């Protein structure tokens, strides 16, 4: 199966030693990273590679193999070969591998965070927080591995016994996005490992170096060869077609756009493959008259401007009740105007670059469209492309007021540091506006009225609701959406269920002899 070319291994020792100084972009490894196939770090069969660039500077920070169909098939071969051994391993042993993996990732937090900041752009403190978040999924699902229980169901016929088994679905594929390159991986292959499945991971081509470092940690923690495999490629379509065309791959988990998710649903029909889809969001953020305004604005900023607004759960439509509207806009504008923009490795930076120029173009399109249609610019509102910003993809953190439903910002995910505020009068109007979307991933609201808190939470048509907070993600809770935001849940006690088949067994003739 393995050619001599494929067997050449990279040496991560230099990379790890070089990362001793946290946040120094010069320490970035990646030029020597490889695919991980069956426990071997290898080149693509074609030996072709692609560059990974820093969105803050435009500089090349590393490169990865550009896999072809034969490389994806080799990864599936490795996962299939490892499946029987991994799923037959006692759950407590799988749990120990997951917990050791979490420990190793935490030990290497500084290195992984520095690489993430270099290729993705988020501030170093945010990157370090994501590494901890990524480790928490492995730790959580280590516990869940030990609690995959079956059932004994009372039989109608006393001569029979009825068993319900929960067994691993088999080989799975994880397709992950660039905005959270560590946590979105562990949120997928963590529960797969816990269930007894083996995985093929395809990270976004913009952020593959983080993926390689995370999988090195998994390998060094003792995961057997082939349990988790890594393929990187600029051709996402080719990878998807190869994965969906192979009958050994029984389950695919994808985080990305709704448009791509719909295409994967079509691809899955040929072999009726199981899917988990975490797709686009267009989160409403409601602030009622009785809210704690300081708490509400801080929560809004935490939601909207984390990762420069490049999250599927960030606030996109901000609705403020008339009685506090002016005060909220004033406070929001003051706080956003003070946010420091710059390369993510610089101390004090709150807003890093967007992932690329297309992201800047979209943010600016939304801002200019809103202004043209009558919105008021409170702060920001333009590209940052002079001086230190000249080589990066930066956009000023922006607040708009007077946003109306006919504006692009009201109908599309901005995926940038732009907050557009609208006014509402009544609770009924707020619920109607919030639910008027094809998306249903996440919603937020602030109130000090306990009855309203329960009432609004129940009426919002979203898979996740944050009440009096702008931060809702954690490993121990079910994460996922409704409507065109996808289906399936990641995290929480139900997260491992996505990787298990339920089997009913009827055993006849075991009653009284």
Whether residue 115 contacts residue 28, with contact meaning beta carbons closer than 8 Å, is answered with yes
Instruction: Name every residue whose Cβ is closer than 8 Å to that of residue 322 and which is 6 or more positions away in sequence.
Output: 289, 423, 424, 425
Please give the helix or strand (H or E) that residue 366 lies within, else none.
Answer: helix 357-372
CA–centroid distance for 368 within its chain: 29
Query: Is residue 47 annotated as a catalytic residue, yes or no?
Result: no
Q: DSSP secondary structure string, 203-261?
A: --TTSHHHHHHHHHHHHHTTPPTTSEEE---S-HHHHHHHHHH-TTEEEEEEES-HHHH
Query: How far, CA to CA in Å, does 109 sit from each of 132, 218, 493?
Result: 7, 13, 26
* Residue 94 near residue 86, CB atoms below 8 Å: yes
Here the tokens at position 418 are 């732009």
The CA distance from 34 to 215, in Å, is 11
Q: How far apart are the first and last CA of the chain?
A: 54
Strands of 69-141, DSSP E: none
User: What tokens were used for 408?
Assistant: 């692009």
Element (H, E) at 215: helix 208-220
Encode 105-132: b = buried (16+ Cβ within 10 Å), e = exposed.
bbebbbbbbbbbbbbbbbbbbbbbbbbe
Token readout for 213 is 């470092």
CB 199 within 8 A of CB 82: no
Would you call 278 a catalytic residue per the annotation?
Answer: yes
The catalytic residue among 197, 312, 314, 442 is 312
Of the candidates 278, 413, 427, 490, the residue annotated as catalytic is 278
Q: What tokens were used for 135?
A: 């480790």
Cβ atoms of residues 23 and 58 within 8 Å: no
Spatial distance between the Cα atoms of 397 and 470, rounded to a whole number of angstroms? 17
User: What is the rounded CA–CA span in Å between residue 109 and residue 115?
Assistant: 10
For residue 32, what is the DSSP state? T
Phi, psi of 46 (to 5 degrees): -80, -10
Residue 47, by phi and psi: left (phi above 0), alpha (psi -120 to 50) or beta?
left
The catalytic site residues sit at: 278, 312
């Amino acid at each position: 199966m393995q050619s001599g070319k494929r067997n050449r291994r990279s040496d991560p020792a230099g990379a790890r030693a070089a990362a001793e100084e946290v946040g120094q972009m010069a320490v970035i490894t990646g030029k020597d990273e490889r695919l991980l196939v069956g426990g071997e770090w290898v080149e693509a069969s074609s030996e072709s590679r692609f560059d990974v660039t820093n969105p803050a500077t435009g500089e090349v920070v590393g490169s990865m193999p550009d896999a072809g169909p034969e490389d994806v098939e080799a990864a599936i071969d490795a996962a299939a070969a490892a499946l029987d051994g991994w799923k037959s391993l006692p759950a407590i042993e799988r749990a120990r591998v997951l917990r050791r993996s979490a420990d190793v990732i935490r030990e290497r937090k500084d290195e992984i965070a520095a690489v993430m900041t270099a290729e993705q752009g988020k501030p170093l403190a945010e990157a370090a927080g994501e590494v901890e978040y990524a480790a928490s999924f492995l730790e959580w699902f280590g516990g869940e591995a030990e609690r995959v229980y079956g059932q004994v169901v009372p039989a109608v016929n006393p001569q029979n016994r009825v068993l319900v088994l929960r067994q691993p679905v088999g080989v799975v594929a994880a397709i992950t996005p660039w905005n959270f390159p560590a946590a979105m991986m562990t949120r997928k292959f963590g529960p797969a490992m816990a269930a007894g499945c083996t995985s093929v991971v395809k990270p976004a081509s913009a952020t593959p170096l983080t993926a390689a470092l995370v999988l090195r940690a998994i390998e060094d923690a003792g995961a057997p060869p082939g349990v988790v495999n890594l393929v990187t490629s600029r051709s996402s379509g080719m990878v998807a077609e190869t994965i969906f065309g192979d009958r050994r791959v029984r389950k695919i988990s994808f985080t990305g756009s709704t448009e791509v998710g719909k295409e994967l649903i079509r691809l899955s029909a040929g072999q009726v493959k199981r899917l988990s889809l975490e797709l686009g969001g267009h989160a409403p953020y409601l602030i009622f008259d009785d809210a704690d305004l300081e708490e509400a604005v801080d929560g809004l900023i935490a939601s909207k401007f984390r990762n420069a607004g490049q999250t599927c759960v960030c606030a996109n439509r901000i609705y403020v009740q008339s009685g506090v509207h002016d005060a909220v806009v004033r406070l929001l504008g003051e706080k956003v105007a003070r946010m420091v923009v710059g390369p993510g490795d610089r101390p004090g930076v709150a807003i890093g670059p967007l992932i690329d120029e297309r992201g800047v173009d979209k943010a600016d399109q939304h801002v200019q469209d809103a202004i043209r249609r009558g919105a008021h610019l409170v702060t920001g509102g333009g590209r940052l492309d002079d001086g230190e910003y000249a080589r990066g993809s930066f956009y000023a953190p922006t607040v708009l007021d007077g946003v109306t439903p006919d504006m692009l910002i009201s109908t599309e995910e901005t995926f940038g540091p732009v907050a557009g505020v609208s006014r509402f009068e009544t609770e009924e109007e707020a619920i109607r506006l919030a639910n008027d979307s094809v998306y249903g991933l996440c919603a937020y609201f602030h109130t000090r009225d306990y009855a309203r808190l329960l009432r609004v939470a129940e009426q919002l048509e979203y898979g996740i609701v944050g009440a009096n907070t702008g931060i809702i993600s954690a490993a121990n809770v079910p994460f996922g959406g409704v409507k065109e935001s996808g289906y399936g849940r990641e995290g929480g006690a139900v997260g491992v269920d996505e990787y298990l088949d339920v089997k009913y067994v009827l055993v006849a003739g075991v009653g009284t002899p």
